[in-house]
């Protein structure tokens, strides 16, 4: 996935490692959402970013690191003029996202797994897993209806 043109400068960046504690993730997500709003992103795009980040980070905490506070979740987010890139990685064993059962199928409707991967793919414009499923890179394009804030 192309993260950005090398000549493009991020308007905001976050590079952080947190223990596998959901409370720390919530604070971080609130910060990203507030920043996107300050930069003039529309509510639909902000909501999409919020949902996808919440799913990705919580999946890393719960499924990847199995809530082990000694394991870290690494979060790298850059907001550019026209898009956002988020890279979330954990220290877990990894997984194959293509093997996650589709939660929309009748036989999977009552299962508690698979919804996060589906939501991330629905809300973001690009979602790519690597490092055997231990890292996800997501990209969200800024809504074309929104006029960007002057730099």
Question: Could you read off the pLDDT of 38-82 as tens digits, one per residue?
Answer: 999 999 999 999 999 999 999 999 999 999 999 999 999 999 999
Supply 43's token pair: 């509510």
- In this prediction, residue 99 carries a pLDDT of 85
Host H or E run for residue 13: strand 12-19
- Domain residues of the chain, as ranges? 12-141
DSSP string computed for 52-104: HHHHHHHHIIIIISTT-TTSEEEEEEEE-SSEEEEEEE-SS----GGGSPPTT
CATH number, domain 12-141, options 3.40.1670.10, 3.40.50.300, 3.30.565.10, 1.10.340.30: 3.30.565.10
> Chain-wide mean pLDDT for the chain?
89
pLDDT class of 146 with cuts at 50, 70, 90: very low
The pTM assigned to this predicted structure is 0.87
Report the 10 Å Cβ neighbour count for 144. Answer: 7
pLDDT band, residue 115 (cuts 50/70/90)? confident
- Sign of the dihedral through C-alpha 18, 22, 27, 31: positive
Percent of the chain residues past pLDDT 70, beyond the cut: 85
Query: Residue 6 pLDDT > 60, yes or no?
Result: no
């Amino acid at each position: 996935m192309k993260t950005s043109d090398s000549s493009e400068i991020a308007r905001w960046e976050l590079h952080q490692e947190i223990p596998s504690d959901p409370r720390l993730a919530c604070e971080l997500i609130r910060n990203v959402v507030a920043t996107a709003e300050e930069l003039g992103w529309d509510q639909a795009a902000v909501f999409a970013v919020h949902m996808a980040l919440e799913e990705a980070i919580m999946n890393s905490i719960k499924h990847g690191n199995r809530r082990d506070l000694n394991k870290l979740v690494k979060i790298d987010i850059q907001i550019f003029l026209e898009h956002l890139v988020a890279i979330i990685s954990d220290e877990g064993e990894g997984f194959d996202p293509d093997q996650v059962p589709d939660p929309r199928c009748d036989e999977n409707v009552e299962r508690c797994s698979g919804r996060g991967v589906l939501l991330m793919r629905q809300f973001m414009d690009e979602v790519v897993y690597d490092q055997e499923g231990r890292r996800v890179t997501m990209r969200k394009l800024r809504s074309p209806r929104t006029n960007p804030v002057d730099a």
